[in-house]
Amino acid sequence: MVILGIETTCDETAAALVERTDEGRGRILSNIVLSQLSEHAPYGGVVPEIAARAHVEALDHIIANAMGEAQCNFDSIDGVAAAAGPGLIGGVIVGLTTAKAIALVTEKPLIAVNHLEAHALTARLTDGIAFPYCLFLASGGHTQIVAVRGVGNYVRLGTTVDDAIGEAFDKTAKLLGLGYPGGPQVELEAKAGNPARFQLPRPMLGKPNADFSLSGLKTALRLEAERIAPISDPDVRDLCASFQQAVVDVVADRLRMGLKLFREQCGDPTGLVAAGGVAANAAIRKVLHRLSFEGGTQLVLPPAALCTDNGAMIAWAGAERLALGLIDTLDTPPHARWPLSDLAARATPRRKAG
Ligand code: KG4
Ligand code: ZN
């Protein structure tokens, strides 16, 4: 089966064609991502109204390019999937409405995909990993440890009680006068800095749950920066290195706890899987390697281009759902908020795909 996937929940306009074989193997036929970075950079963050308008302008062309590159046409696809949330509602409406229009005209099934589920299932597209596995999802908007037990079957083991990890990187960068998005900039500065110079807190360390908290760390960093102001370039490097080290220590501790909770609730995982933009950070990747080794499980790290937002993950999640007969009607609503736990209710087939 071949599925068209559309992603417009944040600041990337993306479309892709993905094939799924009867045995459940995946193949990306095309994967086109247009980043709106330059349009939001002057504001130091994503401006929802600018994002929605940019999706409207770009999406038709991006879909046409994806179809062309995959040598597909609307007759040759088996369904159209769009991210129906969670995300910035204006953008979600653009992608979902476009998918509905295509589904209506071509009489192909519509699959309304949860963006988080798409991140969660990407490792099955890239590595064919079997259920159940432990997912560490860390992006600009989400920080979660999830037991992925099946399509539509997720148990959230931990989440952030305040900021997402990517958001904390972005705010740190902003505070220190680095560019947007902040993660890559902070990582670059940290490489040449001293991680032991500033004593920053490790929030939640040792807590018996697998939750995260980042806002106290961010505040502590701001107070240190104010204490030594005006800050020099070496100060920025040391602040970034100390911040990143604190995050790495927190991730190690929280994931260790997450894997323990996983084993208690679901048995041995088939692997530890990372997703989201933060998984591009080399120091985080290093600690993930250590944790999977320690925990006696394999680490699955999809390529960075599939860890960040893209259309292939939406198409793949659509294919996984369609293969189970899980399709949606044309009155399916867009969602600004849509926790993975709400998917369980949808996980019973409504009607078989035609
Ligand atoms: O998954 P993603 O592309 O978009 C969503 O948020 O959905 O993740 C973007 C986030 C941003 O907060 C960015 O600063 C962070 O991932 N990020 C990083 C790195 N690259 C991207 N954080 C730390 N280190 C990086 N190298
Ligand atoms: Zn995402």
Q: Tell which residue, 315, 245, 291, has the closest CA to residue 77.
A: 315
Cβ proximity of 183 and 169 under 8 Å: yes
Pairing of strands 26-35, 12-20: antiparallel
Whole-number Å distance, alpha carbon 199 to ligand 2 midpoint, is 31
Pocket flag, ligand 1, residue 166 (CB < 6 Å):
yes
- Locate 226 and state its tokens: 């104010």
Pocket flag, ligand 1, residue 269 (CB < 6 Å):
no
Q: What is the DSSP letter of 232?
A: -
Ligand positioned closest to the Cα atom of 45: 1
Pocket flag, ligand 1, residue 244 (CB < 6 Å):
no
Q: Tell which residue, 75, 20, 100, has the closest CA to residue 312.
A: 20
Give the pLDDT confidence score for residue 169 in this predicted structure: 96
Give the pLDDT confidence score for residue 348 in this predicted structure: 54
Give the pLDDT confidence score for residue 99 in this predicted structure: 98
Whole-number Å distance, alpha carbon 103 to ligand 1 midpoint, is 32
Ranges under pLDDT 50 in the chain? 351-354
Pocket test for ligand 1, best of 139, 187, 244, 306 (most atoms within 8 A of CB): 139
Note the Cα 107 to chain centre separation in Å: 30
Cβ proximity of 274 and 136 under 8 Å: yes
281 Cα nearest atom in ligand 1: 26
Cβ proximity of 169 and 139 under 8 Å: no
Number of other residues whose CB lies within 10 A of the CB of residue 304: 12
- Residue 2's SS3 state is strand
Cβ proximity of 175 and 215 under 8 Å: no
115 Cα nearest atom in ligand 1: 7
Pocket flag, ligand 1, residue 122 (CB < 6 Å):
no
Question: pLDDT, tens digit, for every residue of 119-149?
Answer: 999 999 999 999 999 999 999 889 999 999 9
Give the pLDDT confidence score for residue 346 in this predicted structure: 67
Q: What is the pTM of this model?
A: 0.93
Whole-number Å distance, alpha carbon 276 to ligand 1 midpoint, is 7
